[in-house]
């Protein structure tokens, strides 16, 4: 396939760009069907579908990279599959079969190969798998029929400024998810629930809202649509609670941190511990590892200044570059995270 013309690969936003094809697979109440290829950007959906009435909707985010050697690799697809299966079980939906999910992901990459950004551009091909309940429902109960769909789009950095520091803010009047709710699953409603806090944060000049635990408002939770971690000396510390999405990027950074000789702690992190942090970052498929220079506790009018010079710290910088090097084929994939795609 020829490369797309008129795309400035180095200046892509993190936004939707139309590509050639998406792939779909339906569950009819008894089994998953064959994978279908579509060039339509639209879904024919019943107005009473359970995804619209009662929020039976889950999704994933993952990336494919064109490496230094020209090969295309997909990052930790098996972990994304495990997580969407877990999300499905959490919302009483039908989990997709592992082999079928991976086949769909590989197929959508191959079908849209001309949209995979070139090595060195700083961009990647983003995959968005989603599963929705399509059975018409008026009574509150789970669907029997489901649609799994994966589309792909080339994206740049989630934050337009690239790898540089940002500032975030804490508002105690907002929750991202309930204490024993859907926070640990990748559900669209969790993100909708955080939009008001995020918009307010941006109006106040911050990149994101840092949410606290929804039960006691004492511990750090998620940072906007991403996980959060701090560096204290030789320790990589990330919050733990039932309302935090288990981030595959965070999991990977923890392993890299161990490879660097750091001690990894996953535990409740009190807000006040920010005063002891040497570095901080939000992390996820989109954000990768974005350094945080300051956290403002709005309700208590406390500024936790983490980076005195406003620049990324050495540990977060090293973590970021090591992960990127593995994804782009610049460093050995010693943990077997990358799946090579023959395009």
pTM for this prediction: 0.96
- How far is 263 from 73, CA to CA, in rounded Å? 29
- How far is 334 from 255, CA to CA, in rounded Å? 11
Which among 223, 228, 222 has a CA at the least distance from the CA of 184?
Answer: 222
Q: What is the pLDDT of residues 293-333, one digit of tens each?
A: 999 999 999 999 999 999 999 999 999 999 999 999 999 99
What angle (nearest 5°) sits at the alpha carbon of residue 193, between those of residues 302 and 137?
Answer: 165
Which among 20, 15, 105, 23 has a CA at the least distance from the CA of 60?
Answer: 105
According to DSSP H, which parts of the chain are helical?
50-54, 77-90, 98-111, 188-193, 195-203, 248-259, 314-327
| 278: CB partners within 8 A, 6+ apart | 230, 231, 232, 233, 306, 313, 315
- How far is 97 from 165, CA to CA, in rounded Å? 40
Question: Which pLDDT score is estimated for 29?
Answer: 94
Q: Catalytic site residues?
A: 186
Domains belonging to the chain, first-starting first, are 9-155 (3.30.470.10), 166-327 (3.20.10.10)
Phi then psi for residue 44, to 5 deg, are -85, 110
pLDDT along the chain (343 residues), means of 10: 70 94 97 98 98 98 96 98 98 98 98 95 96 98 98 90 92 94 95 96 97 96 95 98 96 98 98 98 94 98 96 97 96 97 94
Question: Which pLDDT score is estimated for 4?
Answer: 59
Residue 266, exposed/middle/buried by CB under 10 A (0-12, 13-18, 19+)?
A: middle
What is the bridge-based pairing of β-strands 263-266 and 279-284?
unpaired
């Amino acid at each position: 396939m020829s490369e797309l013309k008129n795309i400035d690969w180095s200046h892509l936003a993190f936004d939707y760009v139309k590509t050639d094809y998406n792939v779909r697979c339906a569950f009819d109440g008894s089994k998953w069907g064959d994978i279908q290829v579509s060039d339509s950007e639209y879904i024919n959906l019943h107005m009473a579908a359970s995804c619209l009435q009662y929020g039976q909707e889950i999704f994933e985010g993952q990336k494919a990279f064109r490496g230094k050697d020209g090969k295309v690799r997909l990052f930790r697809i098996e972990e994304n599959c495990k997580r969407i299966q877990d999300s499905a079980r959490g919302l009483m939906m039908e989990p997709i079969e592992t082999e079928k999910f991976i086949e769909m992901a590989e197929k959508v990459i191959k079908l849209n190969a001309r949209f995979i950004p070139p090595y060195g551009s700083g961009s990647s091909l983003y995959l968005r798998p989603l599963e929705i309940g399509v059975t018409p429902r008026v009574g509150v109960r789970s669907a029997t029929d489901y649609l799994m769909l994966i589309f792909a789009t080339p994206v740049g950095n989630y934050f337009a400024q690239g790898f540089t520091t940002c500032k975030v803010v804490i508002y105690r009047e907002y929750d991202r998810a309930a204490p024993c709710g859907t926070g640990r699953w990748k559900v669209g409603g969790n993100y909708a629930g955080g939009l008001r806090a995020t918009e307010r944060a941006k109006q106040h000049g911050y990149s994101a809202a840092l949410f606290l635990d929804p039960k006691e408002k004492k511990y750090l939770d998620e940072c906007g649509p991403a996980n959060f971690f701090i560096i204290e000396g030789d320790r990589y510390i990330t919050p733990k609670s039932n309302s935090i999405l288990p981030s595959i990027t965070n999991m990977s950074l923890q392993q890299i941190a161990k490879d660097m000789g750091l001690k990894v702690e996953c535990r409740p992190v009190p807000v006040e511990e920010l005063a002891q942090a040497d570095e901080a970052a939000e992390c996820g498929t989109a954000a990768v590892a974005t350094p945080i220079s300051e956290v403002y506790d709005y309700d208590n009018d406390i500024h936790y200044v983490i980076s005195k010079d406003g620049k990324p710290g050495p540990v977060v910088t090293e973590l970021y570059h090591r992960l990127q090097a593995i994804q782009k084929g610049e460093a050995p994939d010693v943990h077997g995270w990358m799946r090579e795609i023959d395009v």
